C-alpha cells in the first residue's frame, strides 16, 4: 500500500499565518502538522508516500520533508497546482499509485490512535474503499457518512445543510485504483470543486463495498485558528517531559514541560505544564508560561504572561498584558506600551487578522 499526503489548499481561514506558507506546516506542540500525518502512515507500515504540492509556496514543504529518509520513508513529489478539490488532488497521484491500493491523508489533520487498525481492517475487508469517521458536533461543517444498522455506508454528502448523522469524514481515505475512472467522470460541486465524497458515493452506488473505519481516539481538522489551538492542547496532554536547557535559580517549572537545548529559563519565571519550549529560547526574567502553550525555537519572552497559545518561533514578546488563546506568527514582535505617548494601542495588523483589545 502507498500513501498520498495532501499539502495544497490556500488556508484562507488561517490567514495571515498562511500568507507565508502552507497551513500543513503550522506547528502543533512545536512539530509541523504534516509530520503527524507522515508518522501515522509510517507506523502503519506505509513508507512509499506521494506528497501532493499546491501553489502556496510548495518549496517550503520540500525544504521541510526532503527525500523522507529522515522520517524512515520515501517521498515522491507531485504537483497539483491550483486547488480544485480533493478528488482532483487524488487524481494527480494516478501514475504514482499505479496498481497499488493507497491511503489518502489530508495534511491538516491530526488524530490520536493512529491508522494502523484502519489499514488492517481495510485490507481484511475486501472493500473497494474505506473511509475514516469520527463523531462530531456541527456535522454540517464536514463530509458526513450515513450508515445502516449493520454499519455499512449508505450515503456520503459533503457539508450537508441538514446532516443525516454525526459521523464526519476525517480526511483519511483508503482506496484502490478503481476510484480513478469515477473521478474522471465527476462534475464540480456547488463549491466548484471535484469532491472525493462524490466519487466514493458513486462507487457505492455502483455496488462497491465501502468500509467504515472509526477513529479510536480523538481527531481534529486544523482548518481554523480555534481548531489549531485545540489540537495543540490535546497533543500537549501527551508530551514526554524533559529539560535540555538551563533553569536558573528562582525559576519554577511544574507539570509536564519539555524544554529544548540552549533555552534559558531566567529567575522569577514560572512555567506550568503541559507546555513545550523550543530550542535557543530566553524565557524571563519574571515571565509566566501557562498550560497548553507552545513556544517555538529562538523566541524571547520577557516579563510576559502567556497561556493556551502558540508562538510559532523567533518572536519577541515583552508586554505584561496577559495573552490567551492566541496564534503568534514567526518573527512577531509584541512590546510593552508603558510610557509611550500618546497613550493608546499601536498596531500594524496584516490582512485577515483578528485582534481582541
- pLDDT band (50, 70, 90) for residue 28: very high
With respect to residue 353, please indicate whether it lies within any of the assigned structural domains: no
At 265, list the grid cell. Answer: 529559563
Task: Tell me which of 236, 262, 281 is where a domain ends.
Answer: 236
Quick one: average pLDDT of 287-297?
96
Quick one: average pLDDT of 95-113?
92
Q: Do 283 and 141 share a structural domain?
A: no
Q: Is 38 left (phi over 0), alpha (psi -120 to 50) or beta?
A: alpha
If you write DSSP's letter for every residue of 225-254 in order, what string do you get? HHHHHHHHHHHHTTPPPEE-SEE-TT-EEE
ω before 274 within 30° of 0 (cis)?
yes
Domain housing 321: 242-334
Q: Do 168 and 36 share a structural domain?
A: yes
Report the alpha-carbon distance of residue 111 to residue 88 in Å, rounded: 24
Q: Do 155 and 124 share a structural domain?
A: yes
With respect to residue 9, please indicate whether it lies within any of the assigned structural domains: yes
With respect to residue 346, please indicate whether it lies within any of the assigned structural domains: no
Q: Quick count: other Cβ atoms within 10 Å of Cβ 321?
A: 12
- Any residues with CB less than 8 A from the CB of 339 and at least 6 apart, and which? none
If you write DSSP's letter for every residue of 131-160 in order, what string do you get? EEEEE-S-GGGSEEEEE-TTS-EEEEEES-
**How many structural domains compose the chain?**
2
Look at residue 31 in the predicted model and tell me its pLDDT.
94
CATH number, position 302: 2.160.10.10
Task: Tell me which of 236, 262, 297 is where a domain ends.
Answer: 236
Structural Rg of the chain based on CA atoms: 22
Q: Which of 190-199, 211-220, 248-257, 347-356 has the lowest mean pLDDT?
A: 347-356
Q: Note whether 40 and 73 are within 8 A (CB).
A: no
With respect to residue 128, please indicate whether it lies within any of the assigned structural domains: yes
With respect to residue 318, please indicate whether it lies within any of the assigned structural domains: yes
Per-residue DSSP letter, 162: S
Between these two residues, 342 and 277, which has the higher pLDDT value?
277
Q: Is 147 left (phi over 0), alpha (psi -120 to 50) or beta?
A: beta
Look at residue 341 in the predicted model and tell me its pLDDT.
60
**How confident is the model over 35-84, as pLDDT tens digits?**
999 999 999 999 999 999 988 788 889 999 999 999 999 999 999 877 78
At 218, list the grid cell. Answer: 480523538
With respect to residue 287, please indicate whether it lies within any of the assigned structural domains: yes
Between these two residues, 343 and 182, which has the higher pLDDT value?
182
Burial of residue 347 (CB within 10 Å: 0-12, 13-18, 19+) is: exposed
With respect to residue 298, please indicate whether it lies within any of the assigned structural domains: yes
Q: Do 293 and 163 share a structural domain?
A: no
Amino acid at each position: 500500500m502507498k500513501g498520498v499526503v495532501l499539502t495544497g489548499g490556500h488556508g484562507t481561514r488561517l490567514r495571515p499565518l498562511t500568507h507565508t506558507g502552507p497551513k500543513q506546516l503550522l506547528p502543533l506542540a512545536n512539530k509541523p502538522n504534516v509530520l503527524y500525518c507522515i508518522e501515522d502512515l509510517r507506523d502503519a507500515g506505509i513508507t512509499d508516500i506521494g506528497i501532493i504540492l499546491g501553489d502556496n509556496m510548495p518549496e517550503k514543504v520540500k525544504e521541510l520533508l526532503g527525500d523522507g529518509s529522515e522520517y524512515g520513508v520515501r517521498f515522491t513529489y507531485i504537483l497539483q497546482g491550483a486547488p480544485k478539490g480533493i478528488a482532483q488532488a487524488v487524481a494527480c497521484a494516478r501514475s504514482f499509485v499505479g496498481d497499488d491500493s493507497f491511503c489518502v491523508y489530508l495534511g491538516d489533520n491530526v488524530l490520536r490512535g493512529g491508522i494502523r487498525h484502519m489499514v488492517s481492517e481495510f485490507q481484511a475487508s475486501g472493500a473497494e474503499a474505506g473511509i475514516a469517521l469520527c463523531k462530531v458536533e456541527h456535522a454540517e461543517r464536514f463530509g458526513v457518512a450515513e450508515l445502516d444498522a449493520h454499519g455499512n455506508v449508505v450515503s456520503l454528502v459533503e457539508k450537508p445543510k441538514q446532516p443525516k448523522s454525526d459521523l464526519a469524514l476525517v480526511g483519511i481515505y483508503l482506496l484502490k485504483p478503481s476510484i480513478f475512472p469515477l473521478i474522471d467522470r465527476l462534475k464540480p460541486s456547488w463549491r466548484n470543486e471535484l469532491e472525493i465524497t462524490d466519487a466514493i458515493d458513486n462507487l457505492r452506488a455502483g455496488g462497491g463495498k465501502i468500509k467504515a473505519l472509526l477513529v479510536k481516539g480523538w481527531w481534529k481538522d486544523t482548518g481554523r485558528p480555534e481548531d489549531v489551538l485545540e489540537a495543540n492542547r490535546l497533543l500537549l496532554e501527551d508530551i514526554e517531559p524533559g529539560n535540555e536547557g538551563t533553569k536558573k535559580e528562582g525559576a519554577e517549572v511544574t507539570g509536564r514541560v519539555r524544554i529544548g537545548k540552549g533555552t534559558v529559563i531566567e529567575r522569577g519565571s514560572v512555567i506550568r505544564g503541559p507546555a513545550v519550549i523550543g530550542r535557543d529560547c530566553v524565557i524571563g526574567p519574571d515571565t509566566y508560561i501557562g498550560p497548553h502553550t507552545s513556544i517555538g525555537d529562538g523566541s524571547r519572552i520577557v516579563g510576559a504572561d502567556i497561556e493556551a497559545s502558540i508562538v510559532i518561533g523567533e518572536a519577541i514578546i515583552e508586554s505584561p498584558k496577559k495573552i490567551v488563546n492566541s496564534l503568534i506568527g514567526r518573527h512577531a514582535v509584541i512590546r510593552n506600551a508603558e510610557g509611550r505617548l500618546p497613550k493608546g494601542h499601536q498596531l500594524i495588523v496584516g490582512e485577515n487578522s483578528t485582534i481582541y483589545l
